[in-house]
Amino acid sequence: MSLRIFEPRYIRMVKEVCANNSGFVVCMLNAQGDKKENQHIHEIGTYAEVIDFELLEDGLLGIKVAGLSSVKVKDIITESDGLRIGKCHTMEPWQCDIPTKQISPMVERLHEIFERYPELQSLYEVPEFDNPNWVLMRWLELLPVDARQKQYFLNQQDCTVLFSYLSALV
C-alpha cells in the first residue's frame, strides 16, 4: 500500500519505525466507538513495514508499506501529539485447507477483477493465486461489508466461515 504522510505524529512514527527497523499497525475504524477511549479502533489490524519511501512532488513524504501479519491490539493510549500506541500480539495465520477445485471460482473471479483493475493488481508484487489464504484475504479486502463484519471474519480460527460466505456470493 502507498501512503502519503503529512501529519507530524505520522512523520514521527515513520522516523521511529525506520530507525528501529520495525513496523506499525494499520487498523480499521469503528464509527460507533468512543474516540476519547480509543474504542473507535478495531482490535484486529495489520502489522506493516516500510519497504520504500520518497519525497512526493507536493513535498509530502510518500511511503510504500507491506502488510506482514494480522495482530490484535490492546491497551491503546494516545500520546501528546495524537499518535496512538498499543500492545500488539501476532495472530496465528488461518488454517485453510480448501481444495483447489472448491476455491477455483473465487480465484477465477479475482483474476478477472485484477485484469479489469490493474491498479489493484499493482498492489501485489507477487500475487499468490495458488494460496487459498491469500485469495480469501484479497476478497475480504474487496468485500463491500462494514469493518465490524470484516473483524468478525478475521477473528475466526480458520477460513471456513469466510469461505462459506464467499461461496454463496461467488
Q: For 84-107, what is the HEC assignment?
A: EEEEEEECCCCECCCCHHHHHHHH
Percent of the chain with pLDDT over 70: 100
User: Do both 82 and 121 map to the same domain?
Assistant: no
User: Do both 8 and 79 map to the same domain?
Assistant: yes
CA separation (Å) from 28 to 10, 76, 116, 119, 129?
Answer: 16, 14, 26, 22, 25
Q: What is the DSSP string of 2-39?
A: EEEE-SHHHHHHHHHHHHTT--EEEEEE-TTS-TTTTT
Query: Given a cut of 90, is residue 169 above it in pLDDT?
Result: no
Q: Pick the closest to residue 70 from 98, 50, 42, 51 (CA basis).
A: 42
98-135: pLDDT as tens digits: 998 999 999 999 999 999 999 998 888 889 999 999 99
Domain assignment present for 95: no
Which cell is 153 given?
471474519
User: Do both 47 and 125 map to the same domain?
Assistant: no
38-76: pLDDT as tens digits: 899 999 999 999 999 999 999 999 999 999 999 999 999
CB within 8 A of 107, min separation 6: which ones? 129, 135
Q: Which of 65, 90, 115 is the last residue of a domain?
A: 90
User: Do both 80 and 139 map to the same domain?
Assistant: no
Domain housing 75: 2-90
